[in-house]
Amino acid sequence: MERLCSSPLHANISTALDKHLESIRVVQARRKDEILSASSRQRHGPPRCQDEGVVLALALALQALCLATCKVRTALWCALQMTLPK
């Protein structure tokens, strides 16, 4: 989009994209932790309730991803509006 308008976009747009990418990476890491926690419990006996801390961390990461997604959608919409011809 920066190429279309021949000038750099507002810094908030880049920041929103960076935060969204970071949120995705955090969710991936929390999901990996959840999978490892579940698989280690299955090896050591009968299945039990999942560790609440692992699930809570995943839920918080998903909440942050949801917020970051809303912000990045708005930022990209603004960037699109700035690049459209007047």
- Torsional sign, CA 57, 59, 65, 68: negative
Instruction: Give the C-alpha separation, 16 to 18, whole Å.
Output: 5
* E strand residue ranges, 1-86: none
Residues in Cβ contact with 5 at an 8 Å cutoff, skipping those fewer than 6 apart: 82, 83
pLDDT in tens, the chain (86 residues): 666 666 778 889 999 999 999 999 999 999 999 998 888 766 655 555 557 889 999 999 999 999 999 999 999 999 888 888 87
Does the model's pTM come out above 0.85?
Answer: no
